[in-house]
Structure 1
Amino acid sequence: MGSRMTFIATGDSFITRRLPSVSSESFRELAGLIGRAEFRFTNLEVTTHRQEGFPFAFSGGTWAMAQPEVLEDLQEYGFNTVAWANNHTMDYAYGGLEATRRYLNQYGFVHAGVGMNLAEASGPVYLDCPSGRVGLVAATSTFHESWAAGEQRPDMPGRPGVNPLRYETTYVLPQEDLACLERISREIPINASYNLDVKEGFAVAVEEGSVRFGTHRFSAGEAAACRTVPKKADKKRILRSISEARRQADYVVVSIHSHEMEGEDKARAAAFFEEMARACIDGGADAVIGHGPHILRGIEIYRNRPIFYSLGNFIFQNETVSRLPADFYEKYSLGHESNVADAFDTRTDHNKKGLGVNPRVWESVVPLWRIEEGKLTELLLYPIELGYGTPRYSRGWPRLSNQVTILEHVQRLSEPYGTTIELEGHVGRVKVG
């Protein structure tokens, strides 16, 4: 292992516009910060192509497409490594996926989490740096079920898609409530199709002691609760990739895109994500980078390794895509005479609701950390702002911030994990070791 390696990471880069200037002070400061690390990561939250694909029937919220040249702008910031397994990977079906993959290769990015089959999507990729080799494994828990990459067989090709981290949800009810639910399920045909599928061999019966109600599974417990755990097959596959990377590189980083939350609190990661992140560290990862909910979540130092449950946004330009499919307009009862400005005005009720009016969406931190002789020795947090309160056509570019309230917010989010963050001027220092 190299004696010293520096890492920097950001959350989502939902980039749909070209970078206005590389000479501005705000850009140079941020690019200079990113350039201090050897491993420089962002999550690519858009497909990059010139309509090589058609819009899928389901999107990640906004059909995300940008011209391939935005990858040049990510390189101008200094990024050399990206994950792109997320809820927008197949917004433009297989054509969009294959084109994005081609352009990422053309621009020389090390990229992970998506492939032409499950082996490629789930396998580690490597970045060779002067101070050592870094392996990256990427997955997403937020995706349409049809987007999961398919496994290759000797007699059948695999399917392009994302590396899936699926999870199982069990709702817990006191025994008397569970008995009531079971009685209702017998009185109405909510399980009719499922019961027939089980009889005809197209579905597997729930384990004994559980009750199925529609698409949900319930079990008995002392108090009402919701439990989520990673799907065993996905957990095993991801850990296997980490094990491979551990033996083929000096360092291993895992990226997980996850919108799922605990209850109705978007700032709290779901229990299955926390379990999986810690399992990744146990399995040999040196860091876990989370992103997805477009806001910050807490930071945990687990076994002297950082887990970032969400780094929020780095670039967020979801309302300046140039085109949208008919499905988007139809959802809001808009016709062919409407355009993208009409669509976003309608969705946000003229900027009165949605992500644009949530100030937490437009602030984040950029962590810079150092590993020396196999130990985490330093973790610094640099706050950024993305232009909250400005028009949608101009907001979304990051700049370093002097707002200590951003760091204080991360402090509060990280306290439940036992993480201490000290403020040193406009920089946060996480207590390690």
Structure 2
Amino acid sequence: MGRADAGKRMSFVATGDSFITRRLPKVESVDFQKLAAVISQAEFRFTNLEVTTHRFEGFPFAFSGGTWAIAPPEVLLDLKAFGFNIMSWANNHTMDYGYGGLEATRRHLNEYGIPHAGVGLNLAEASQPAYLDCPSGRVALIAVTSTFHESWVAGQQRPDMAGRPGVNPLRYTTTYQLPEEELEQLAAIAAKLPINAEHRLSVKEGFAVEHNDGSVRFGQYLFAPGEAAGCLTSPLEKDWMRVRRAIAEARRQSDYVLISVHSHEMYGEDKNKAATFLELFSRQCIDEGADAVIGHGPHVLRGIEIYKNRPIFYSLGNFIFQNETVSHLPSDFYEKYGLGQEHGVADAFDTRTQNNTKGLGVNPHVWESVLPYWTIEDGALKEIVLYPVELGFGQPRYQRGWPVLSEKISILEHLQELSEPYGTAITIDGQVGRIQLG
């Protein structure tokens, strides 16, 4: 199998989301040079591209990831200037500008010579690994997203029918649990209401399948018996099997396999905690031979788990976050906030944030992240070094969002707390964090 030879050493750097909508102002600045130097010390250098890059070739889709994300294609050159040499772009903004925006972004990634994963003109292309040939070995990247509109899923092609452009999906099932007595009460309530009428008719007409596993349907939700009230989420089996096949392929075609997961879903109401299905999926990937799982999506840090001597970064937060400096927004955005044709993007963002008094802009954790650097040597994971990063919390929205290396120990202390439930000990050494391994 395609595993690294004895004596080989591979180095990795990864970030979370690069929501970049402005051109890099100064590549000669000291802050940029310091950060680019850290990134460039690794051979595999990853970021998640969370914007579409084109010149409005597509039209605004009826549903967006929150802000219709568009940037000039040249921002890809700025990301390369930071040092990134491979990207994922399966996320909740991939289809913000429909199929035209997707195909234009794909074209520009190819034109700039950037290997990319997670999106394609059909499901086979969206699912396939992207490969990066490095001096010390070949690395495969497989990318999925669990956060997307259902219409964004790439379609499987057939001999007699073309596939559909879209993202490589990681769907999940959700089952709520109730004690037996409360479950019976819920079933009695459902029987008195037409809440399941549409589903029952779909079953009768053959458009849906009834579950006969003892669960109770209440509208779009399923409830199962349990000792206490709770919620269980699990990766959808057919999506997991597709990822599993991709890992098996990549293991035989490369020395290292990395998984990118864009997931906003959380445990309960805490954005800092990953949903159960994401934890299960990440560990399954390692079980099947992946060398790391790189999570991003919720725009905040989540804990780090070392599972079977391999890192799982449940979320690396933001690397670049410029969601409020897009150049244009569709009518849908303005109408949502009661604005008209006479208003512009500044009015739209002032209204959404109530003049920057609510939303992501006032959460300091959104504007803090870490940049992990790690090595695999002789097949074993060695030390992970964590560089804290700041993105300009408190600055005007047209200035904040660029990353700089930080001296704030509180960022590392926060990550220590998030990682403790996974049994991961992070020591603080000067201005960096370290996870000591074998």
Q: TM-score, length-normalised on structure 2?
A: 0.98
Residue identity opposite 1:242 in structure 2: I
Within the alignment, does 1:402 sit opposite 2:395 as a pair?
Answer: no
Residue 207 (structure 1) shift: 3.1
User: 2:430 and 2:244 mapped to 1: Cα distance?
Assistant: 39
Residue 429 (structure 1) shift: 0.4
User: 2:160 and 2:261 mapped to 1: Cα distance?
Assistant: 31
User: 1:293 and 1:204 mapped to 2: Cα distance?
Assistant: 33
Partner of 1:56: 61
- Indicate which of 197, 200, 208 corresponds to 1:195: 200
Matched residue SS, 2:63: coil
Matched residue SS, 2:224: strand
Partner of 2:82: 77
Residue 377 (structure 1) shift: 1.1
- Indicate which of 275, 282, 289 corresponds to 2:287: 282
Partner of 2:165: 160
- Indicate which of 131, 137, 146 corresponds to 1:132: 137
How big is each residue's C-alpha offset from its partner over 1:124-170, in whole Å with a ceiling of 9 and x where there is no partner?
11000000000000000000011010111111111100000000000
Contact 1:84 1:114 in 2 (8 A): yes
Matched residue SS, 1:368: strand
Partner of 1:415: 420
- Count of aligned pairs between the two proteins: 433
Matched residue SS, 1:281: helix
How big is each residue's C-alpha offset from its partner over 1:176-198, in whole Å with a ceiling of 9 and x where there is no partner?
11111111111111111111000
Alignment of 1:219-234 (within 5 A): 219-234=224-239
Contact 2:382 2:436 in 1 (8 A): no
Residue 211 (structure 1) shift: 0.8
Partner of 2:319: 314
Alignment of 1:224-303 (within 5 A): 224-303=229-308
- Indicate which of 73, 87, 100 corresponds to 1:95: 100
Partner of 1:44: 49
Within the alignment, does 1:181 sit opposite 2:173 as a pair?
Answer: no
User: 1:151 and 1:283 mapped to 2: Cα distance?
Assistant: 24
Residue 39 (structure 1) shift: 0.3
Partner of 1:374: 379
Partner of 1:327: 332
Partner of 2:35: 30
Alignment of 1:421-432 (within 5 A): 421-432=426-437
User: 1:281 and 1:159 mapped to 2: Cα distance?
Assistant: 30
User: 2:223 and 2:118 mapped to 1: Cα distance?
Assistant: 32
Residue 299 (structure 1) shift: 0.1
- Which stretch shifts more, 203-212 or 319-328? 203-212
User: 1:381 and 1:30 mapped to 2: Cα distance?
Assistant: 13
Matched residue SS, 2:401: coil
Partner of 2:346: 341
Q: Which ranges of 4 or more aligned residues in structure 1 deviate by more than 4 Å?
A: none
Partner of 1:19: 24
User: 1:44 and 1:58 mapped to 2: Cα distance?
Assistant: 19
How big is each residue's C-alpha offset from its partner over 1:334-359, in whole Å with a ceiling of 9 and x where there is no partner?
00000000000000000000000000
Residue 208 (structure 1) shift: 2.5
Matched residue SS, 2:388: strand
Alignment of 1:110-129 (within 5 A): 110-129=115-134
User: 1:52 and 1:282 mapped to 2: Cα distance?
Assistant: 41
Contact 1:301 1:432 in 2 (8 A): no
Residue 431 (structure 1) shift: 2.1
Contact 2:120 2:166 in 1 (8 A): yes
User: 2:90 and 2:127 mapped to 1: Cα distance?
Assistant: 10
Residue 262 (structure 1) shift: 0.2
Residue 432 (structure 1) shift: 1.5
Residue identity opposite 2:362 in structure 1: V
Structure 2 spans left out of the alignment, 5+ residues: none
Partner of 2:15: 10
Within the alignment, does 1:212 sit opposite 2:223 as a pair?
Answer: no
Residue identity opposite 1:418 in structure 2: G
Structure 1 spans left out of the alignment, 5+ residues: none
Residue 316 (structure 1) shift: 0.1
User: 1:122 and 1:281 mapped to 2: Cα distance?
Assistant: 18
Residue identity opposite 1:99 in structure 2: A
Residue 414 (structure 1) shift: 0.2
Matched residue SS, 1:402: coil
Matched residue SS, 1:333: coil
Q: TM-score, length-normalised on structure 1?
A: 0.99
Residue identity opposite 2:395 in structure 1: T
User: 2:218 and 2:335 mapped to 1: Cα distance?
Assistant: 31
Residue 47 (structure 1) shift: 0.3
User: 1:429 and 1:333 mapped to 2: Cα distance?
Assistant: 49
User: 1:120 and 1:226 mapped to 2: Cα distance?
Assistant: 33
Residue identity opposite 1:57 in structure 2: A
User: 1:303 and 1:57 mapped to 2: Cα distance?
Assistant: 43
Contact 1:367 1:381 in 2 (8 A): yes
Matched residue SS, 1:349: coil
Partner of 1:108: 113
Contact 1:419 1:431 in 2 (8 A): no
User: 1:58 and 1:183 mapped to 2: Cα distance?
Assistant: 36
